[in-house]
Structure 1
Amino acid sequence: MSKHIIHTDHAPAAIGAYSQAVRAGDTVYLSGQIPLVPETMTLVSETDFAAQTHQVFKNLRAVCEAAGGSLDDIVKINAYLTDLSNFATFNEVMAQYFTQPFPARAAVGVASLPRGSLVEAEGVMVLSK
């Protein structure tokens, strides 16, 4: 099985030694997205958790589309929050991007994230043949 690297200018460029996503067979592994605006590579907001979460899902959607899928094809999401008191807000925003049946998910509290982000999310997407 070969792997195919996914890249789009509609999501932030990688800020390290990784790809935005990698497709292996029908599975696409989506790298973590922080709330960077692709055109400026700056945070959408430094303090607004909801705005940051919306940008994270917009970035994930752009990578999904570049891979030939959509957010509806995501089967698993891992979310990282620097403050778990924002968990309810994360749920509210996520519900605006997904419909039932929702993907499996983990939410983890972390000490810090790149660029001072308050939230990051990564996922696994499965595409139909």
Structure 2
Amino acid sequence: MSNQDLDFLPDPDADSLSSDVASFNGIMVSTQVPVRADGSLELGDITLQSECTLQALKVALERAGSSMDRVMHLTIYLTDMADRAAFNEVYKRFFAKPWPVRAAVGVAALAVDGWRVEVTAMAAKG
């Protein structure tokens, strides 16, 4: 994409079809899945996948000049809404009051068989 008022920070994985973070006028958007820092997939339980996903979000935002305390909105995609309570326990370790605006959405499946969570976040820069 070549819009001069939009900035895209590429995903560290050269084969990725998505930018890690996109920003416009001080607003940043990032989507993260349970992929470890070394690029391997996390296919463990919902707690491990949630920790991995939120850690990946933290790293992506910090690389782009933002942070978890600048997150304004999250959309949480869960393949099993029964996992929501476990996700929330991990969420409370990464975020504090005032909580970001958020929505949890139940989905039939995610891009990789075995993934149970994906998160899209909107954050302020800086």
Per the normalisation by structure 1, the TM-score is 0.86
Corresponding position of 1:80? 77
Corresponding position of 1:23? 23
Between the aligned partners of 1:61 and 1:114, the Cα distance in structure 2 is: 21
Between the aligned partners of 2:61 and 2:88, the Cα distance in structure 1 is: 20
Corresponding position of 1:36? 35
Between the aligned partners of 2:71 and 2:10, the Cα distance in structure 1 is: 17
- How many residue pairs match? The answer is 122
Counterpart residue identity of residue 61, structure 2: C
Between the aligned partners of 1:27 and 1:123, the Cα distance in structure 2 is: 10
Structure 1 residue 67 displacement after superposition: 1.1
Between the aligned partners of 2:29 and 2:67, the Cα distance in structure 1 is: 13
Does residue 1:59 correspond to 2:56, yes or no? yes
Counterpart residue identity of residue 35, structure 2: L
Between the aligned partners of 1:7 and 1:74, the Cα distance in structure 2 is: 20
Determine if contact 1:43/1:52 at 8 Å carries over to the other structure.
no
Counterpart residue identity of residue 3, structure 1: L
Structure 1 residue 112 displacement after superposition: 0.6
Corresponding position of 1:6? 9
Between the aligned partners of 1:70 and 1:8, the Cα distance in structure 2 is: 17
Per the normalisation by structure 2, the TM-score is 0.88
Superimposed CA distance per residue, residues 69-120 of structure 1 (whole angstroms, 9 cap, x where no aligned partner): 1000000000000000011011111000001001000000001112221100
Compared CA separation, residues 53 and 15, structure 1 to 2 (3 A): farther
Counterpart residue identity of residue 66, structure 1: R
Structure 1 residue 15 displacement after superposition: 5.6
Corresponding position of 1:122? 120
In angstroms, what is the RMSD of aligned CA positions?
1.7
Compared CA separation, residues 8 and 14, structure 1 to 2 (3 A): closer
| Structure 1: tracts of 5 or more residues without a match | none
Compared CA separation, residues 38 and 72, structure 1 to 2 (3 A): same
Structure 1 residue 24 displacement after superposition: 0.7
